[in-house]
Every structure is written in C-alpha cells, then in structure tokens.
Structure 1
C-alpha cells in the first residue's frame, strides 16, 4: 500500500531555516555558558612546550631571541631508520618541534596525561641541549638532585 506524500508549503523564501533536532531547539556548547571551554590535546601540548621553554630561557641567557615553533610533521622529517621529533637551526635561531612524531610514538594508557607532559618536556630539554651543544642533564643543574 503506497504512502501518501506530504508536500511542504512554500513560503516564498528559497533559503531554508536552520533546523533543530526533534523539536528540542538548537544545540548548545558542551561546556555550557558558565564553564570555560575545554582544552584540547593540542592546547596541552603547546602549553607544556611553552612553559618548559620559558623555564629554560630563564636559566640560559643564550636562548634569548630563540623562537620555539610547533609544526605537524613535514615529509623531510621522515627518514628510513627514524623520524625527527625536532629540528634545530642555529643560523635562524629557531627550534621547530614536530608535534605528531612526539605524541604518536608515545605508548601510554588512556588518561595518562602526566606521561605525555613528561615526554614533551624531555623533548624540549633534548632539543635545547642540541641547540646549545650540551648534555640535557646540564641544563637545569640541581633540579633533579634528590635530597
């Protein structure tokens, strides 16, 4: 038995109005109007990198004017036996961190944000040590000495 087709009444306007879902109104943001927006993993990565770089700038005056940049992962960072996690350019006074290789090679369980922050911090320390020509353990003398 064929169903009858309803024909929508034309209102004269060719534009369609935004539709809500099942008559419940338009959707609101997940956080609501009274909560701050949620941080994404990319925001956490950038914040960890920036705070570690600021800490090292306070210790080493040689880092004044050095720019710390974040890129995804360019094709020239992928080699046969390894993938670069950062690139140091002393002439341009720049350190570029490749976010995807740093985060993707991290083998953690769900919800272990502390491990991800430690990995990002260790990459910043190693890249700065590479830039300065020093050992990463020399960058913050006494910081890791247990009392």
Structure 2
C-alpha cells in the first residue's frame, strides 16, 4: 500500500543538518589529537611541491616565475604520443602535471610509496628539464653522484 504524501514545511532530509542519534555532526576519523590521514592526492601534491621547491633552490633565476600546477587529467585524452603526463607552457612559465596518468598509467617494478614518490619526482624533473631545455640529469648533478 503506497504511503500518502504530506506537504511539510520542513526541508528535505538531505538538506537538514546531520544529527545522528543526538551525537551532533561527524568529526574526523582520526580524532582531534592525531594527524589527519593522507590520501594519494595529498601525497602527490606534497611530492610535486617539495620537488618544485628543491629545483627552485638549485635554479632560482631560471625558475623564479614558474608556476607548478596539478590537474587530474589532460583535456584531450589521447594525443599523438599517447596520454600526456605533463604539459609545459614556456610563454606563460607554467608546468601542469597530470595526476591520474602519472599514477595509473606508469608501470612500476615495485608499487610502494617510495617508488611512487620517485616516479612523481622524475616527472617533475623531466617537465622542468623540458622547460629549461636541459637534460633531467643535469638539473641536480650533485644529487645523483654516489661516492
């Protein structure tokens, strides 16, 4: 038997404030005294920012006004060389890194946090090298010299 519909002045259930069993709004899972959980997007953004800061410290004049941006994916899904991992715009001094192609389409021999971070760092290095017209290995030669 179908229920009758009543006209009500109350907002719909989805619009009301969430008050589950009188306990108030939901809080973070980790609680107020623990750090927030990090997800793949946060780790990707932090890795790009840290690598960009490192390279700006080595090449301050060349990377002074360069903007590093992160986007989910390129607008054109497939180009002539496949799916783009990054885009360099030398006129606007901008580097855009595409998170989904870097994380999902790259084949890693070990899929752990260290290797994922190294993959993101290598993409930032290659994008900066493309912008500066240099070889990625020449951007930080002291970093890769082993004694």
The interval holding the TM-score normalised by the smaller chain is 0.7 to 0.9
Structure 1 Cα separation of the partners of residues 144 and 58 of structure 2: 15
2:144 maps to what in 1? 144
Structure 2 Cα separation of the partners of residues 143 and 110 of structure 1: 22
1:85 maps to what in 2? 85
1:128 maps to what in 2? 128
Query: What are the residue-to-residue correspondences of 1:29-48 with 2, within 5 Å?
Result: 29-48=28-47
> What TM-score comes out, normalization by structure 1 length?
0.79
Structure 2 Cα separation of the partners of residues 126 and 99 of structure 1: 15
Specify the SS of the correspondent of 2:76.
helix
Query: What are the residue-to-residue correspondences of 1:1-147 with 2, within 5 Å?
Result: 14=10, 18=18, 20=20, 25=23, 27-60=26-59, 61-79=61-79, 81-107=81-107, 112-147=112-147
Aligned residues: 134
- Unpaired segments of 5 or more residues in structure 1? 1-11
Structure 2 Cα separation of the partners of residues 135 and 104 of structure 1: 25
Report if aligned partners of 1:49, 1:120 keep a CA contact under 8 Å in 2. yes
- Unpaired segments of 5 or more residues in structure 2? 1-7
Report if aligned partners of 2:74, 2:84 keep a CA contact under 8 Å in 1. no
Displacement of 1:143 after TM fit?
1.4
CA RMSD of aligned residues (A): 2.6
CA radius of gyration, larger in = 1
Distance 1:116 1:85, change over 3 A: same
Q: Deviations over 1:67-98 (max 9, x none)?
A: 00111113325225511111111111111111
> What TM-score comes out, normalization by structure 2 length?
0.79
